[in-house]
Amino acid sequence: MTTRSSALRGSGTWNRWSGALFVAPYVAIFVLMLVIPLCIGIRLSMTRSDLFGIKEFVGLENFSRLFGDPVFLQAVWNTFYFVLLTVPVLTVTGLALALVLNHQSRWAAVLRAMFFASTVLSVAVVTLIWRLVLIPEGGLVAVLARVVGKAPVAFLGEQALAMPSIAVTTIWWGIGLPMVLFLAALQQVPRDLYEAAALDNASRARMLMSITLPSIRRTVVLVVIVEIILQFQLFGQAQLMTGGGPNNSTRPMVLFIYETGWKQWQLGYAAAAAQVLFAMIAIAAMAQYYFSSRKNAP
Amino acid sequence: MPVTGVRLSAVSKRFGEAQVIDNLSLEVEPGEFMVFLGPSGCGKSTLLRMVAGLETIDQGEIHVAGKRIDHLPPGERNVAMVFQQYALYPHMTVRENLSFGLRNARVPADEIALRIDAAARRLEITGLLERRPGQLSGGQRQRAAIARAIVKKPALFLFDEPLSNLDAALRARTRIELAQLHQQLKATMIFVTHDQVEAMTLADRIVVLNDRRIEQIGTPMEIYRRPATLFVASFVGTPRINLVPVQVEESGGKALARLPGGATIRTDIAFSTLPGEPAMTLGLRPESVRIADAAAGDARGTARVVERLGDRTLVHVALADDTLLTAEDRGDSSVQTGQAVGLLVDGRAGHLFAADGMAYHGGVQ
């Protein structure tokens, strides 16, 4: 009997199936909620459809239309511009905050909690707060501008300022995540490395460059890619703060997809745009997988 | 290599409410290998880290090579430290690890290359210089860590339990190599350990620390032969010293110790030097208690446990009142568990300890 069961185990058949049983619930949900909708989406993207269903199969026509559509191209550019505005600042500021707050004191704990607190707010609350800060009629910035004798600025109404304003809002909202990721990484760096460096007469700047940054470089890569993936999906802030204006200057891809699909009822066209966004995020996700699973020195 | 010494004067350190080092003074001679020995939490590592500058001191002064250093940052103290976990920079090659401190000190590049070359040859890690610490074995990391200390040509070497992460065989080998290294470099070294074998084999002098205080400073043999306190006697020496409560009487000017069972041991300790309390503790190293015939000897008992070590045999003997004594016998001892044996006690090698832990020895005071 022992021989038999160990032979079975040796063949791996039983192991394979019992293993499959354990992951089955997850796989079922994954297929149902992700794979099937993805396939439906891809199919939809090759059709002309509205709310009443698919009208006709059009192949890649939606995609070729997309790349000639100035509004979509503007949305793609806006999205990249937004990612460019937010990701470097989130990464550098998150790291700076983590470095400053990475010690055991009451103030550090209070400040860590405060900087993280904004993360738990909903997008509606965040955008409401920042509209109150930014509106030219009685907003916080306008009041402060008046104090120093400057004319108030319509941050959300000016093409050059609208997207940077959304970026500032987003950074304020999302700074908690990179900060805690960096804090966790910093706490993994062995203390005695810093002590050895202190005995090696290293300045603080030298320790940062030669000990801290090399030790947490995987987390830096992780934060950059996670933030790229997150910020590619900009939607709520733009919709609630500017509605995509002025002059389409703040319309990101997700808002384009939403409006094309649910306001103009061009579901096939919207699905095609969604596939483009999906491809972009998939590339970033693969980059993250590549970097995080790469095996080289610690 | 400059030959220098260390002086700690009335050094104190508190962590919040806890006093970790209390008004401690100590001198390390130039070129001396000094070992701080003590149990966990006795403050020996803290003391080392205070010399290194990794802990501040609350009171007192520290001088290295005649220069006061306790107010200087660690990098300017001209000391090098080998850490328990080696603390090699994981993302740098061994060569970069060795050169890091020298580059920070703006040593010229050709000088750095020369020093690394010499240190690598001395520690036989020349072939490993381009590897990273993650690609080295524990023993190789240890060598790299020592090499990193050597290239700095410091006035003082500090070792914080550097052998505790090595397996037994490697530890014994590294111990010998460290002793050789010290002979070659003739540098002042302070070595922290809780392992008395390391302390005995490496040290020129040992500082035995317990409970934030210095119990004794002395050469290994002084520490072993003439322990200053009950703590030192019981902490140093394997197997552990026998400690028996005795009643002390005078006999011909010397102290006579009466065991609980009634047997008496004649010591070489002048009775007049004793504090006068009759109840004391007699300390006897196992090698001064030998096994004899059941009929002979100064005391009689029953062998409870027999440990055969090859070159000698340790016999744990229960006296009539169940006091346990560890005695030594020849390697080919025929004593069996449960056998009645006699004990020949060399009372001249015995120590007496008063209730406060102070030790009294025979011979030259």
3-state per-residue secondary structure call for chain B: CCCCCEEEEEEEEEECCEEEEEEEEEEECCCCEEEEECCCCCCHHHHHHHHHCCCCCCEEEEEECCEECCCCCHHHCCEEEECCCCCCCCCCCHHHHHHHHHHHCCCCHHHHHHHHHHHHHHCCCHHHCCCCHHHCCHHHHHHHHHHHHHCCCCCEEEEECCCCCCCHHHHHHHHHHHHHHHHHHCCEEEEEECCHHHHHHHCCEEEEEECCEEEEEECHHHHHHCCCEHHHHHHCCCCCCEEEEEEEEEECCEEEEECCCCCEEEEEEEHHHCCCCCEEEEEECHHHEEEECCCCCCEEEEEEEEEECCCEEEEEEEECCCCEEEEEEECCCCCCCCCEEEEEECHHHCEEECCCCEEECCCCC
What pLDDT digit, counting tens, does each position of B105-133 carry?
899 999 999 999 999 988 888 999 999 99
Q: Is the pLDDT of residue B148 over 90?
A: yes
Distance CA A166, CA A188 (A): 34
Over range A125-141, report the average pLDDT.
Answer: 86
Of A195, A206, A210, the CB nearest to B87: A195
Question: What pLDDT, on the 0 to 100 scale, is given for residue B192?
Answer: 94
Considering only CB atoms, which chain A residues are within 8 Å of B46? none
CB contacts, 8 Å: A196 with chain B: 81, 83, 87-89, 148
Interface contact A196-B73, CB threshold 8 A: no
Please compute the mean of the pLDDT values over residues A223-234 and round it to a whole number: 89
* Cα gap B328→B287, rounded to integer Å: 5
Distance CA A290, CA B198 (A): 47
pLDDT, residue B261, reads 78
Chain A interface includes B153 (CB < 8 A): no
Quick check: B282 and B246 in contact, CB under 8 A? yes
Please tell me whether residue A57 adopts helix, strand or coil conformation: strand
pLDDT of residue A298: 42
- Calculate how close chain A gets to B26, using CA atoms only, in Å: 23
What band does B190 get if pLDDT is binned at 50, 70 and 90? very high
Q: Give B151's pLDDT tier (boundaries 50, 70, 90).
A: very high
Option in A190, A199, A214 nearest B79 (CB): A199
Whether residue B53 lies within 8 A of chain A, CB to CB, comes out as yes
Euclidean distance between CA atoms B304 and B321, whole angstroms: 13
Of A78, A101, A59, the closest CA to residue A257 belongs to A78
Contact B91 A297 (CB under 8 A): yes
Contact B48, B192 (CB under 8 A): yes
CB nearest to B74's CB, from A190, A198, A214: A198
Percent of residues, chain A, with pLDDT higher than 70? 94
Instruction: Encode pLDDT of B278-330 as tens digits.
Output: 899 999 999 999 998 888 888 888 999 999 998 999 999 998 888 889 999 98
- Closest approach of A230 to chain B, Cα-based (Å): 30
* CB contact (8 A) between residue A298 and residue B101: no
How far is the alpha carbon of A223 from chain B, nearest alpha carbon, in Å?
A: 20
pLDDT tens across A250-292, in order? 888 899 999 888 888 888 889 999 999 999 889 888 887 887 7
Distance CA B20, CA B115 (A): 38
Report how many Cβ contacts below 8 Å link chain A to chain B. Answer: 71
Nearest-by-Cβ selection for B75 from A192, A198, A215: A198
**B contact test, residue of A192, A201, A208 with most B CBs within 10 A:** A201
Contact A284, A221 (CB under 8 A): no
| pLDDT at res. B4 | 61
| Shortest Cα–Cα distance, B32 to chain A (Å) | 21
Residue A27 has pLDDT above 90, yes or no: yes
Question: What's the gap in Å between the CA of A295 and the closest CA on chain B?
Answer: 12
Q: Is B73 on the interface with A (CB under 8 A)?
A: yes
Contacts 24+ apart (CB under 8 A), A118-122: A118/A172, A118/A173, A118/A174, A118/A175, A118/A176, A119/A173, A119/A174, A119/A175, A119/A176, A119/A177, A121/A173
Report pLDDT for A153: 79
Binary contact (B89, A211; C-beta < 8 A)? yes
Average pLDDT over residues B329-352: 89
The mean pLDDT value for A181-207 works out to: 91
pTM here is: 0.79
pLDDT of residue B144: 92
Which residues of chain B are within 8 Å of residue A206 when distances are taken between CB atoms? Answer: 104
Q: Which of residues 101-140 of B touch A (CB under 8 A)?
A: 101, 104-105, 132, 134
Percent above pLDDT 90 for chain B: 41
Write out pLDDT tens, residues A5-18. 444 455 567 777 88
Q: How far is B24 from chain A (nearest CA, A)?
A: 24
pLDDT at residue B2 in the model: 46
CB proximity B315 to A under 8 Å? no
Q: Summarize the confidence of residues A165-191 as an average pLDDT.
A: 92
Q: Is A200 in Cβ contact with B101 (below 8 Å)?
A: yes
- Residue B365, pLDDT > 70, answer no
Distance CA B340, CA B264 (A): 19
Cis peptide before B260 (omega within 30 of 0): no
* Contact assignment for A201 to B83 by CB distance below 8 Å: no
ipTM: 0.83
Most confident range, picked from A129-138, B13-22, B352-361 = B352-361
pLDDT of residue B223: 92
B98, B100, B146, best to mutate vs chain A, most A CBs in 10 Å: B100
- Cis ω before A246 (30° cut-off from 0): yes
Q: A236 to chain B, minimum CA–CA distance in Å?
A: 42
Beta-bridge partners for B210: B213
Percent above pLDDT 90 for chain A: 28
Residue A177, judged by CB atoms within 10 A of its CB (0-12, 13-18, 19+), counts as middle
